[in-house]
Amino acid sequence: MDISKTEKHLCAMLEDGLGFDLKDPNLADTPKRIARMYCNEFFKNVGVEYEDFKSFPNVHGYDQIIVSDRIAFVSICSHHFLPFTGLAWLLYIPNERLIGASKMARLVNHYAKRPQIQENLCHEILHRFDNELRPSGCMVFMKGIHDCMRCRGALQPNSGMMTSAVKGAFEDPDLESKGLEMIKISLNSQEV
């Protein structure tokens, strides 16, 4: 990513396209701030695979559902470049390897840092987790609020979107239901 080119084009968009006066002290550095935000924060993982999969041997043969719950994420909708925010749940049944809880949160946030739609984000997380860890099964559930729905167009400030993706053992409807029940418990709890 090229911050200076991004800043230059933002200047043209704001001045020539929208007619803003960039000499206004409140707008003077706006193109620079937006360029840094896009390149260093919101889109920093475009084209970058997640590689931080430090895992541990499952020496005790744990074979029940593990849930990392209420993982906060912020992403940018690829349709309108407005944020969508929410919570994610990553569930898995280990096979030979276990992964630390912080790595699951980092995985979710890694894939959120690119222009996205929530449906694709859900699947990217699931497939990367499954390909790396090879669990008996895994599931991703996401609940998001989209500013493109809240602030424009449909003007629905309380409407959200929920997505899920399953692989392996969670493709069994009974196990998927058990996973969803665990998510429901997490959603309804106020404390750990």
In DSSP terms, 93 is beta-bridged to 137
Tokens of 70: 């209420």
Percent of the chain whose pLDDT exceeds 90: 85
> Which residue matches tokens 């003007």?
155
The confidence score (pLDDT) of residue 84 equals 95
Cα–Cα distances in Å, from 38 out to 3, 16, 45, 151? 9, 21, 11, 20
The confidence score (pLDDT) of residue 53 equals 82
Q: Read off the pLDDT of residues 36-50 as tens digits, 9 standing for 90 and up.
A: 999 999 999 999 988
Return the CA Rg of the chain.
Answer: 20
Let me know the angle formed at the C-alpha of 60 by 70 and 94, rounded to the nearest 5 degrees: 40
What one-letter code names the amino acid at 121?
L
- Is the model's pTM score more than 0.85? yes
The confidence score (pLDDT) of residue 96 equals 96
Listed by start position, the domains of the chain span: 3-42, 55-188
Domain 55-188, CATH number (from 3.30.420.10, 3.30.9.10, 3.30.1130.10, 1.10.10.10): 3.30.1130.10
The confidence score (pLDDT) of residue 191 equals 65
Ranges under pLDDT 70 in the chain: 190-192
The confidence score (pLDDT) of residue 155 equals 86
Tokens of 158: 């309380």
Let me know the angle formed at the C-alpha of 178 by 86 and 66, rounded to the nearest 5 degrees: 65
The confidence score (pLDDT) of residue 36 equals 95
